[in-house]
Structure 1
């Protein structure tokens, strides 16, 4: 992903998180474990297991000492990790926001 595309995605995520009526950053972060559980159990129709697997691979890529572009190539080597990090955070925050909205609708549709 090009630098401009990563920056645009980060900006869209920021705008989405700060939009009035949208789930806030704290709610999105707290929802991530529930989102992962709901996707793996097949309870949340908004995200497939394949996207969750891609996110897992993103985490592994960031944590892995083996990179496509070695980190000793200072600017380029760190930029690929940062690009994956931006994609991962944008995807997680976006998906967790949609999950929080979906969960709220479920509670309203089936009050206890």
Structure 2
């Protein structure tokens, strides 16, 4: 869902910026604005659905700001075994980074607009995944330090 949101928003913005002629019988301003609105709506829907799933499944919500999570990432990587971070998650992150820096793409950048969407989608997924896991790690770390403080 987040990938769809990013793609629609990027297509809408590019239509607004670079398109001069009509698109499906609509002026570029109308078509681009509609795509941006649909993209933002899809992103909001994704956030709402994700939060509801966390509540329904009883999953712990991530905590911390973006900066707190960025600072916690090295600690998470050092304590990944104690935290229980699966090796598959680390491997998936590694493949995503490799795909982003690799000159080989599924959709080459030569294709206008579409060529960058696969990279954008992978980057958004990677940042979202890392942010979520580090936020849950911060919660785990706080709970662990709270338990250690109570036992003293």
TM-score by length of 1: 0.78
Cross-structure match for 1:34: 75
Q: How does 1:73-84 map to 2 (within 5 A)?
A: 73-84=111-122
- Residue 71 in structure 1 maps to residue 109 in structure 2: yes
Does the 8 Å contact 1:23/1:97 carry over to 2?
A: yes
Cross-structure match for 1:44: 83
TM-align CA RMSD: 2.7
Does the 8 Å contact 1:36/1:52 carry over to 2?
A: no
SS of the counterpart of 2:144? helix
**What runs of 5+ residues in structure 1 fail to find an aligned partner?**
none
Higher relative contact order (CA 8 A, sep 6+): 1
**What runs of 5+ residues in structure 2 fail to find an aligned partner?**
8-41, 52-61
- Residue 55 in structure 1 maps to residue 90 in structure 2: no
Over alpha carbons, which structure has the higher Rg?
2
For residues 97 and 77 of structure 2, what CA distance do their matches in structure 1 show?
A: 14
Output one character per residue of 1:27-63: Cα deviation in whole Å (capped at 9) or x when no partner: 0011111112222xx1112x31101110111111111
Cross-structure match for 2:146: 108
Does the 8 Å contact 2:63/2:138 carry over to 1?
A: no
Cross-structure match for 2:125: 87
